[in-house]
């Protein structure tokens, strides 16, 4: 299974999964249809599935147009998003599986950014070392989504699920927010050498016009402040030893950054 990263709108990423053996494709969070249609044309592949992580327009905006061109494509989304995702046909819950190109993906219920948010995790294929996580807006490289419909407790629980996945998992998140995220991270931990190094890497990548997505979960666990609510330094910054309060206060600081 190959993963194609397509830029869309101002800072979105759409992902196209491609199985060259069967010449089929699936897309994750199509913000708009045109980039996906162009990619499918280049691959000469048939779209068979649309995997949505949540209902926001910049993740489902391409559903209707894609269904016009590929009516056989099945639209997947959270059971909790019923009525909010255009053309949704499959209503997924925690523990369900999806299949594409001979690969099985696990459905993780990760509310917080929205009340019905899900993520898709494809464990490594046989003979490979790296898995694929499509996290939508729950986890970003160096950050996490705003709490539009959820609570800090929900988001900590959701991020904990993602944090428990193997280190060698690629994080495919739906926005190029990385530089902003590490500007915040370095502002609260200016003396953290690991965060400093990561910030410099991200700055260099963006200066060269390179995408910062995907990243490895191993790196996120080391440098993403929103996965480190047990870190004593961050607890001191948040002025609490409670993990949920630490996360919530850091998220509030980021909202005002």
Q: Is the pLDDT of residue 127 over 90?
A: no
Q: Is the pLDDT of residue 55 over 90?
A: yes
**Looking at the DSSP assignment, which residues form a beta bridge with residue 100?**
103
Domain map (residue ranges) of the chain: 2-255
69 is catalytic: no
Q: What is the mean pLDDT of residues 33-62?
A: 97
Write down the pLDDT at residue 155: 98
| Cα dihedral 85, 90, 95, 99 sign | negative
Q: Which of helix, strand or coil describes residue 142?
A: coil
> Whole-number mean pLDDT of the chain?
97
255 is catalytic: no
From the candidates 58, 80, 81, 117, which is the catalytic residue? 58
58 is catalytic: yes
Write down the pLDDT at residue 123: 97
From the candidates 55, 80, 81, 113, which is the catalytic residue? 113
Strand ranges (DSSP E) for 52-202?
Answer: 74-78, 90-92, 97-100, 103-109, 118-122, 131-136, 139-140, 143-144, 169-173
From the candidates 54, 55, 80, 117, which is the catalytic residue? 54
User: Terminal CA-to-CA distance of the chain, rounded, Å?
Assistant: 38
From the candidates 29, 80, 81, 137, which is the catalytic residue? 137
Place of tokens 């260099």: 204
117 is catalytic: no
Q: Is the pLDDT of residue 136 over 90?
A: yes
pLDDT in tens, 179-238: 999 999 999 999 999 999 999 999 999 999 999 999 999 999 999 999 999 999 999 999
Neighbouring CB atoms inside 10 A of 161's CB total 15
Rounded Cα–Cα distance for residues 199 and 187 (Å): 11
Write down the pLDDT at residue 17: 98
Q: Phi and psi for 176 in degrees, rounded to 5?
A: -90, 75
CA angle (79, 216, 173) in 5-degree steps: 40
From the candidates 29, 56, 80, 81, which is the catalytic residue? 56
56 is catalytic: yes
CA-to-CA separations, 78 to 8, 136, 187, 237, 246, in angstroms, rounded: 23, 12, 36, 36, 29
Q: What is the mean pLDDT of residues 154-171?
A: 98
Domain 2-255, CATH:
3.60.15.10
pLDDT in tens, 232-249: 999 999 999 999 999 999
Write down the pLDDT at residue 126: 87
Write down the pLDDT at residue 75: 98
Q: What is the mean pLDDT of residues 159-169?
A: 97
């Amino acid at each position: 299974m190959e993963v194609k990263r397509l830029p869309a709108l101002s800072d979105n990423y759409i992902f196209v999964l491609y199985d060259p053996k069967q010449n089929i494709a699936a897309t994750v969070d199509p913000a708009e249809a045109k980039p996906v249609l162009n990619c499918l044309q280049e691959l000469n592949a048939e779209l068979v599935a649309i995997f949505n992580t949540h209902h926001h327009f910049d993740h489902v905006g391409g559903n209707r147009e894609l269904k016009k061109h590929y009516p056989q494509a099945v639209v997947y989304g959270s059971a909790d998003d019923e009525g909010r995702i255009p053309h949704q046909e499959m209503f997924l819950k925690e523990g369900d599986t999806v299949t594409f190109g001979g690969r099985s993906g696990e459905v993780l219920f990760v509310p917080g950014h929205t009340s019905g948010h899900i993520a898709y995790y494809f464990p490594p294929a046989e003979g490979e070392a790296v898995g694929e996580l499509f996290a939508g807006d729950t986890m970003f490289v160096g950050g996490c989504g705003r709490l539009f419909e959820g609570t800090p407790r929900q988001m900590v629980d959701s991020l904990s699920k993602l944090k428990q996945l193997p280190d060698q998992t690629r994080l495919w998140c739906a926005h190029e927010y990385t530089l902003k995220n590490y500007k915040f991270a370095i502002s609260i931990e200016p003396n953290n050498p690991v965060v400093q190094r990561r910030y410099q890497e991200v700055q260099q990548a963006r200066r060269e016009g390179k995408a910062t997505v995907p990243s490895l979960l191993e790196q996120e666990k080391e440098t993403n402040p929103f996965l480190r609510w047990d870190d004593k330094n961050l607890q001191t910054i948040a002025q609490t030893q409670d993990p949920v309060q630490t996360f919530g206060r850091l998220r509030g600081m980021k909202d005002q950054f």
